[in-house]
Chains A and B, each alone.
Chain A
Amino acid sequence: KAGVTQTPRYLIKTRGQQVTLSCSPISGHRSVSWYQQTPGQGLQFLFEYFSETQRNKGNFPGRFSGRQFSNSRSEMNVSTLELGDSALYLCASRYLAGTSGYEQYFGPGTRLTVT
């Protein structure tokens, strides 16, 4: 099976702009989660989608939003970008959501730089 894919891999934006990142999960996986990785804060959970519904949300401002399509592909949007949004954004997919033991498989990430 093909792994989790993320596009684009690299992105440079300026403050105030908005950005959309895309994630295609492993075939058959219905859950997609998003994580932000920064040197200062480490890996932090943003949100998880399952069957087009947001299941869980981390402690991020409303500028961060997401959605999931019927084919399980997911997009993440950040509006009014701030310098602190510069990070590696990781997408992960798993078969089911919730406290199930299904492990999450990660994509290669999108490196976002805000100038």
Chain B
Amino acid sequence: AQTVTQSQPEMSVQEAETVTLSCTYDTSESNYYLFWYKQPPSRQMILVIRQEAYKQQNATENRFSVNFQKAAKSFSLKISDSQLGDTAMYFCARQANNLFFGTGTRLTVIP
């Protein structure tokens, strides 16, 4: 099965706080890539961070970091120092030949 599961439909966080979004996936492949995309109200899909499955080290991009647990097939996104502009839908995706997306988590940053 090629499924990506995001179990948190909605989350909220206070500005400047830290929040973690969860994602699990299913795959039979040993080499694959994982992504987090952000979709603000403008609907523009924006790449947040990527992780190569063969790399042990967790990816980091400024305030965004991931916790990649390959054996558990888990790929969570941590947003530190949350900002109002982080308010968006966040999609976890696994790339095989194409992207398989999760159902998304709607994150609201509260001032």
Q: Mark B37-56, 1 if CB is under 8 A from A, else 0.
A: 10000111111001010000
Q: Contacts A43-B91, A90-B45 given; indicate if A33 touches B32 (C-beta within 8 A).
A: no
A90–B101 Cα distance when bound, in Å, is 13
Q: Which residues of A contact B50 (CB under 8 A)?
A: 101, 103
Residue A84 lies at the interface, judged by CB distance under 8 Å to chain B: no
Q: Contacts A90-B45, A108-B43 given; indicate if A101 touches B52 (C-beta within 8 A).
A: yes
Residue of B nearest to A98 (CB): B97
Residue A42 lies at the interface, judged by CB distance under 8 Å to chain B: yes
Task: Let me know if A42 and B103 touch, CB within 8 A.
Answer: yes
- List the count of A-B residue pairs having beta carbons below 8 Å apart: 55
Residue A23 lies at the interface, judged by CB distance under 8 Å to chain B: no
What interface size band does chain B fall in? 20 to 34
A101–B31 Cα distance when bound, in Å, is 10
Residue of B nearest to A101 (CB): B33
Q: Give me 16 other A-B pairs in contact (C-beta within 8 A), A92-B99, A99-B97 excluded.
A: A33-B98, A35-B99, A42-B104, A43-B101, A48-B97, A55-B97, A56-B97, A88-B43, A97-B97, A101-B52, A103-B95, A104-B99, A108-B42, A108-B44, A109-B43, A109-B45
A residues apposed to B, CB below 8 Å: 33, 35, 42-43, 45, 48, 55-56, 58, 88, 90, 92, 97-99, 101, 103-106, 108-109, 111
